[in-house]
């Protein structure tokens, strides 16, 4: 299966994180893993999904 990469705008729309914040995260080496080829920034979809899974919070029914 071919690996899929997302543009920063797609990641922004998917996560609700502004483009400016994504750019600041990259400068600070925080946030999601990314690849940079020349001026093009791409985010591996499998790494984004892994981050989502790793940071998922479960809510107990009693807490609702």
Tokens at 55, concatenated: 């940071």
Alpha-carbon gap, residue 42 to 9, rounded angstroms: 10
Q: Three-class SS of residue 32?
A: coil
The pLDDT score that the predictor gives to residue 64 is: 64
Q: Each residue of 8-55: pLDDT tens digit? A: 999 999 999 999 999 999 999 999 999 998 999 999 999 999 999 998
């Amino acid at each position: 299966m071919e690996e899929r990469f997302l543009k920063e705008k797609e990641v922004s729309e998917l996560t609700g994180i502004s483009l400016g914040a994504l750019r600041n995260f990259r400068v600070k080496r925080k946030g999601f893993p990314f690849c940079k080829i020349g001026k093009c920034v791409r985010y591996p979809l499998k790494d984004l999904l892994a981050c989502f899974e790793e940071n998922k919070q479960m809510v107990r029914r009693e807490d609702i």
